[in-house]
Structure 1
Amino acid sequence: MTRISSGTCKIRSITSAQLKWIKGAFGNMLLLACTRLHTICDGLDSSNFVDEHQVEYVISMVFKNLTNNTHRDIQETDLLWVMKKEEITEVLQLFEGAGETKSITEASLRKWMVKLSNERKLLVHLLHSTSTVIEELNKVILVNLFSLVALVWYLLMGFGTTRFIVYISSDHLFLLVFIFGNFCKMICDGIMLAIVMHPFDIGDLCIIDNEQVVIEKIGLISTDFLKDNNWKVQCLNSVLLTKFISNLNRSSDLTDDFEILISSSTSSETIAVLKLKIKELLGSNPESWHAEHCFNTIVIDDVNAKYNLVITHARKFQNYKEKKCQRSEFVQNLRAVLLELNIQNFAIQ
């Protein structure tokens, strides 16, 4: 009876204002728990991506409708059936080589559709990653708010205040405080990297620890990367804060350099023609390369002459494979130029 009466006195000692505050705090916590923070990614279905069969079907239907079942490229006159004449020039710029030939080939249409599908995938991954970060922040806020409300409610009710304070100051809680402190530090580091600094986005090509990786997923605790061989690597955001990150997608005018080894007996006239051919090669593909380049002599000995060629990309890349393919294509074209000039015993590095 003594304990019951003592508890009753403690409950009665709480004012109506305190009870109203507790009720409001629990109401706000319940509202936060029931309210999900969502992004526009809820309207996108990641499983609804275009596959190879759908691409081929769409291409066949487009050519069938615009060319009247004739096996030829889509011409400007065909596009007049579906758009205005003023819009045709802008549309042709979307397809590789269509700006010069004024026609759309099946290969260029297929490449454009695949590129469009990949960009949509990157957008969905980016939005889902943003949603994941927001939901993780939501969970952290819920836990902290629940702990704060429970602590204040416990103190206001006056239940075992002395024992509670003694327990808080005891050594048994030091380990829990240490773990919780490290967790809070990881959360703060994640917020600093993913939200405040924001050094990369989904699909960006970055250099971390002298290794090129592609950003696949950004979380509040860790970030996932893809290497060249599609190996997935996960790294804590707190560790990434200590590393130097170079984002190639946000860097302007990416360059590629080559070392060309040829025989030192090659005449200066042939070298001059080679420089002219390289300039024409870059100028013929303005969508991939800038015309400005640098061709320097490094060393010439009795056997070989070494030259350094630096060229500049005209586009930014969403993946590393596309950049490698463009470099490989240029090497093949450069090899054809060297063979055309009858330059023997050459090497491109």
Structure 2
Amino acid sequence: MTNPSLRQLDIFAQMVAAGSLSRCAQTLGVSSAVIERDMASLEMRLGYRLFDDIRGAARLTPAGRRTAQAMTLLAQDDAEDWAEEATPAPTPQPDPSPPPPPALPPALPELLLDTDAQLPSLPATPPPANRAIILATPAPVFGHFQDALTAFEAANDDIAITLDLSVQSAVEAARAIESLRADIAYFYALEEPAGLSSRYGWSEQVNLYAGADHPLARAGSVSRGDLTITPQLAVDPRNGLRPIIDAALARGGARLGPVMLETDNMFDIITALREGAGCFAAFGPMARDLGRMSGIRRLALDVPLPAIEVRQTVNERSLSRPGVQALADFLFL
């Protein structure tokens, strides 16, 4: 969800607006099968269902409603990014508001691989006392604790919670904390980053997958040398998961062959895997679902790849507000 220009997210927004599969297909000028396929692919990426019955009333699940709300907030900030090919932005007008805080160094791959990378300290300005608690998290991580979040809201109906699904990495979590866009943030990292206080939640193993008939899928053990001559399938470079996966592969010494396909359409990746076009790295719900599919196998690497940690950080300026620490601890359990 870092890049809301993804085609599947745009189709999801159109589905929410249309209210039915047939109306959405008619609006977009495509078949219902295409819409259904893209929504299934998006649900696989996110790790949870968006619709109870996409062919019927197309009712959003609780997680789907949360996702739609988070996307609406994100679109208000970056409306021009929703289209795959954004229209030219209008001439900027003078903005009386103060400029946003500068981006935090270093770049994402450097932060993931350099444990000594430092992030700036937080200013002392507290957030408004009456603001909703903002929970920033990767979408698959939200899928992990969505039931716990629902239970917390049911027990604390006086506390409002806003979900932000645009955070993936430690750099993005730090920016969200620094700019008061998040009170609690979850993020992916190879280990605890220096300069950003956080606690370890759990780890998700990175694995490589190939078609069941691929020579590496049939091998009893796959070496790093075997991988160098194997074409790679990958998510789009603009996807926030891409640099995280690339960093894990680099840390594990897994140098893959040329990238043959880069896309966020999981249907296309699954098709290419089954056709033996190359191998694909995944972790979390995406890896779980791939491992259950017919025609696809996990490679038996002779040395496992690094696991990616899911970590939680809490904005120190938010701790005085009701419910922030309680929510952080409740989701952490």
TM range (shorter): under 0.3
> Structure 1 length normalisation: TM-score?
0.24
Greater relative contact order, per chain length (Cα 8 Å cut-off, separation 6+): 2
Which has the larger Rg? Answer: 1
Q: Which is richer in helix?
A: 1
> Structure 2 length normalisation: TM-score?
0.25
